[in-house]
Amino acid sequence: MLVIISRDDLADRQGVVFMSQGRPDHSMQDSQHISSAFAQDLSDLRMDLVRLSMLATRQLSASLRAMSDFQSGQIDQLIQQDAELDKLQELIDEKVISIITMRAPRADNLRLVITAARIASDLERIGDYARNIAKRTSAVMNDNAEINLPWDRLIEIGTLVTGMIDDVVDAYQQGDIDAAQAIRNSDIHVDKLNTSFIQETIDLMESNKLSAIVGTHLIFMSKNLERIGDYTTSIAEQVHFIVTGEALGGTRPKADKSSQIS
Amino acid sequence: MLVIISRDDLADRQGVVFMSQGRPDHSMQDSQHISSAFAQDLSDLRMDLVRLSMLATRQLSASLRAMSDFQSGQIDQLIQQDAELDKLQELIDEKVISIITMRAPRADNLRLVITAARIASDLERIGDYARNIAKRTSAVMNDNAEINLPWDRLIEIGTLVTGMIDDVVDAYQQGDIDAAQAIRNSDIHVDKLNTSFIQETIDLMESNKLSAIVGTHLIFMSKNLERIGDYTTSIAEQVHFIVTGEALGGTRPKADKSSQIS
């Protein structure tokens, strides 16, 4: 991040800034000379997002752990913790409005601020899906603790997705567009695992080896993990946009065929 | 919309504006004196959003129509039309960045611009869910055209949700926070219909009156409609935020118990 103590900083202290209102000239396109207070705001915003990503992955990891080591108290705790994510997302939203109002960011700084709200929304929804997975695990475990269910398959998809979230947060912090592209491409593995898991679960239900109620919960858990992969891909696309100012081109590789199973 | 030809407008012509950089004083909190070109930008942005909402409801209506009057060509057309929504959403995103850069909106104008990107994202996802419903209808119809399926129940939920979208677009255009609150409250009916539809579909699968594959598609279609209700509620919350500057308080009434069915 280029930080130059500019005339903006001096103007800041006087509460007045002189700002060009026309199209930004070329030198403004890629980086804006910003005050140290403004740089601190941006740095804080990035840290808030990283913290939100840690809360989201904590929720996801806890929901996966419940599949192999179920304790109902743990699930209750996980459900309660969701409020922390909601609160932090609201805080990020407020900061975005405040930074735009107070600092008039431009070019790459504006992209960083605008996308912060979107990434926060994606992370909050990842947390929601993790909570939903935990609720379903709880519903299944409470009634069917003795049955041998394909938890390992769900944990496999969940572990893959957790790794993608970790990678996308690294890519965000490093501004690494190659990593962002790789994460977007890797979502196809999640789609494939999800489609085959759903297909096999339906087969087990058809042959009465699995009840409709348990099968439905398992299918939704897999689908939730696939949705978490989609949100992670969306974050990867935001990283590309922050760095380049362009939408990540090309058709996103997709292999979620679960809506066409017949 | 208050439009006053202010010193900003004069400054605009010179390419320079004098702008207070400190906290906005109270008179700036509720309305910003804006140039006529700026007012036109805001008006265009609102019209783009209304157009996007019309595309989204067109997709949803077509997906519901396919349930009672199935024609596979119609489904293909619906799937192709999704690209229009994606394109318009991208255009709105670009305009948001451009307006913030060029016009430095504040207070209610800034809220209008920032939320435009979020509402566009919600509407685009509503379109995605409508497309997914159509794909599933197609998968079921192609294999089970002769079977009597509970399409009427899905059409009932879909019609309720379509009405909510129409209402929320009206509330957006009128800045009607009471209507926004009413829409948010009405989502509970969608949640209840969805939960009972899923419960009954599982029962039909358990008693082998419905195959697991068809049951799974029907359950996902109902869940997709419930998700569309959630996105519509999110738009209602944005309307409240645009008008008041405050998040819509209180816990949102929820009755989606489908993750706890056991």
Range picked from B13-22, B25-34, B139-148 for highest mean pLDDT: B139-148
Q: What is the pLDDT of residues B177-225, one digit of tens each?
A: 999 999 999 999 999 999 999 999 999 999 999 999 999 999 999 999 9
If you average pLDDT over residues A28-50, what whole number do you get? 86
**Chain centroid offset of residue B218 CA:** 22
For residues B105 and B99, the answer to whether their CB atoms sit within 8 Å is: yes
Give whole-number Cα distances, A115 to A52, A90, A121, B19, B93, in Å: 14, 14, 10, 25, 11
Q: Is A206 on the interface with B (CB under 8 A)?
A: yes
Residue A236 pLDDT = 98
Mention every residue, 6+ apart, whose C-beta is less than 8 A from residue A64.
A133, A154, A155, A158, A159, A162
Domain assignment of residue B14, yes or no: no
Q: Tell me the average pLDDT across B105-111.
A: 93
Single-letter amino acid, residue B68: S
- Which of B20, B142, B260 is opposite residue A262, by nearest beta carbon? B142
What are the structure tokens assigned to A236, written together?
């990867």
Q: How far is A98 from chain B (nearest CA, A)?
A: 9
Whole-number pLDDT of residue B66:
94
Mention every residue, 6+ apart, whose C-beta is less than 8 A from residue A98. Answer: none
pLDDT tens for residues B72-89?
788 889 999 999 999 999
- Asked, for residue A210, whether it belongs to a domain, the answer is yes
In a domain? residue A33: no
Residues 6+ apart with CB under 8 A from B38: B8, B12, B99, B103, B105, B109
The region of weakest confidence among A102-111, A177-186, B7-16, B27-36 is B7-16
Residue B30, pLDDT score: 53
- Rounded-to-integer distance, Cα A223 and Cα A129, Å: 10
Q: What confidence tens digit (pLDDT) does each residue in A192-238 have?
A: 999 999 999 999 999 999 999 999 999 999 999 999 999 999 999 99
B260 DSSP 8-state letter: G
CA distance B108 to B31: 6
Cβ-Cβ contacts under 8 Å, A15 against chain B = 20-22
Partner B, chain A 126-155, Cβ-Cβ below 8 Å: 132, 135-136, 139-140, 142-143
**In CATH, what number is assigned to the domain containing residue B188?**
1.20.58.220
Instruction: For residue range B24-47, list pLDDT tens digits in order.
Output: 434 444 567 788 999 999 999 999
ipTM above 0.90, yes or no: no
Query: Is the Cβ pair B132, A259 closer than 8 Å?
Result: yes
Cβ distance B15 to A24 less than 8 Å, yes or no, reads no
* Residues recorded for chain A: 262
The more confidently predicted of residues B29 and A97 is A97
> CB under 8 Å, gap of 24 or more: what pairs does A78-87 form?
A78/A130, A78/A131, A78/A134, A79/A131, A79/A134, A79/A135, A81/A55, A82/A127, A82/A128, A82/A131, A84/A55, A85/A52, A85/A55, A85/A56, A85/A59, A85/A123, A85/A124, A85/A127, A86/A124
Optimal mutation site among B13, B20, B79, B101, interface A, most CBs of chain A within 10 A: B101
For residue B258, give the DSSP letter. Answer: G
- In a domain, residue B6? The reply is no
Averaged pLDDT score across all residues of chain B: 87
Q: Which pLDDT band, with edges at 50, 70 and 90, does A71 fall under? A: confident
Amino acid identity, position A221: M
Q: What is the predicted pLDDT for the residue at A254? A: 75
The total domain count for chain B is 1
Q: Nearest-CA neighbor of A215 among A142, A136, A155, A158?
A: A136
User: What is the distance between the alpha carbons of residues A197 and B14, in angstroms, rounded to a whole number?
Assistant: 63
Is B99 part of a structural domain of the chain? yes
Answer whether residue A69 is part of any domain. yes
Q: Does B22 touch chain A (CB under 8 A)?
A: yes
- The domain containing residue A149 runs over which residues? 40-260
| Residue B134 within a domain | yes
Asked, for residue A105, whether it belongs to a domain, the answer is: yes
